[in-house]
């Protein structure tokens, strides 16, 4: 009893955070169907204050991260006049999708130390595990370059709109080839490059309907899935041939 009372007194003595995030999402679940062509998520919120705002500009960083998956990156070398895969690096815990939106250039709103602590920037969000290759960082950069070109990795500096240092919002456009799973959304408030508060929530992305059934069949019954694919291919070929003969006749 005495310990519990002492803990309550200690918590009461701790200073309250001057600024806190109060946030929401336009949707917390995305359904992938056979006609799915992408989605857009609006992240919005406000800054709660119990005291007047401190001096200096308030900055907001919002990240949206897809499920972590492993990826193998290869480097091609020319051997006997032929380009072949040579060295490789296994990139562990690479986000399948990762987007960062900020109120200003990232290096102005977040210091290197805070980036290292919170793993906000795209390079910090990826961990490379080298397999005996000295320049593993080159492979990580290649992965970032490839996925950036595919629209899976995004950096939108200035993409967060903020009004009166209180209300903020950002839009994220998500591609059609989303990986199933939970998408973590983080909101970080910074002043002077330091994180003063953060908030996290999840967006659930799942296949539904026929897409869900086909995906489960391919994983649980691969033989049946293969036979079904073969039958569908034969039927489609026969139908196309019959239609062609009909049109010619």
Q: What is the pLDDT of residues 163-201, one digit of tens each?
A: 888 889 988 887 777 777 888 889 999 999 999 999 988
Give domain status of residue 3, yes or no: no
Q: Looking at the 3D structure of the chain, how many domains does it have?
A: 2
Q: Which domain holds residue 222?
A: 208-249
Q: What CATH number is given to the structural domain containing 156?
A: 2.60.40.3880
- Give the mean model confidence (pLDDT) for residues 225-233: 70
46 CB-near residues (< 8 Å, 6+ apart): 22, 23, 166, 167, 168
pLDDT at 197: 92
Residues 16-39 pLDDT 10s: 457 888 876 666 555 545 444 556
Contact 21, 45 (CB under 8 A): yes
Do 77 and 37 share a structural domain?
Answer: yes
Do 113 and 89 share a structural domain?
Answer: yes
Helical spans, DSSP H, in the chain = 2-13, 106-109, 112-118, 136-149, 209-220, 222-248
Instruction: Check: pTM over 0.75? Answer yes or no.
Output: no
pLDDT at 59: 94
Do 182 and 238 share a structural domain?
Answer: no
Do 227 and 194 share a structural domain?
Answer: no
Do 135 and 32 share a structural domain?
Answer: yes
CA distance 85 to 45: 47
pLDDT at 4: 40
Contact 97, 152 (CB under 8 A): yes
Do 132 and 75 share a structural domain?
Answer: yes
Do 212 and 111 share a structural domain?
Answer: no
Contact 98, 65 (CB under 8 A): yes
Do 167 and 120 share a structural domain?
Answer: yes
Do 190 and 157 share a structural domain?
Answer: yes
- Give the mean model confidence (pLDDT) for residues 124-146: 71
Is the pLDDT reported for residue 67 higher than 50?
A: yes
3-state class (DSSP) for residue 90: strand
Give domain status of residue 9, yes or no: no
pLDDT at 15: 45
CA distance 107 to 112: 8
pLDDT at 206: 66
3-state class (DSSP) for residue 40: strand
Do 203 and 234 share a structural domain?
Answer: no
């Amino acid at each position: 009893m005495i310990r519990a009372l002492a803990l309550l007194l200690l918590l009461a003595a701790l200073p309250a955070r001057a600024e806190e995030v109060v946030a929401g999402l336009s949707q917390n679940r995305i359904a992938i169907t056979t006609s799915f062509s992408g989605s857009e998520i609006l992240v919005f919120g406000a800054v709660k204050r119990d005291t007047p705002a401190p001096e200096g500009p308030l900055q907001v960083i919002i990240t949206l991260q897809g499920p972590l998956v492993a990826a193998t990156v290869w480097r091609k070398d020319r051997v006997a006049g032929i380009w072949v895969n040579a060295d490789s690096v296994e990139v562990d815990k690479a986000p399948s999708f990762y987007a960062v939106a900020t109120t200003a250039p990232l290096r102005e709103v977040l210091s290197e130390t805070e980036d290292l602590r919170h793993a906000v920037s795209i390079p910090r969000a990826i961990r490379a595990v080298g397999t005996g290759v000295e320049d593993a960082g080159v492979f990580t950069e290649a992965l970032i370059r490839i996925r950036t070109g595919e629209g899976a990795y995004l950096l939108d500096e200035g993409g967060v709109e903020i009004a009166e240092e209180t209300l903020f919002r950002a839009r994220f456009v998500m591609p059609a080839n989303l990986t199933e799973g939970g998408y973590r959304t983080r909101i970080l408030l910074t002043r002077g490059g330091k994180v003063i508060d953060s908030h996290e929530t999840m967006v659930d992305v799942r296949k539904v309907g026929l897409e869900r059934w086909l995906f489960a069949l391919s994983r649980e019954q691969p033989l049946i899935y293969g036979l079904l694919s073969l039958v569908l291919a034969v039927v489609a070929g026969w139908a196309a041939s019959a239609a062609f003969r009909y049109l010619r006749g």
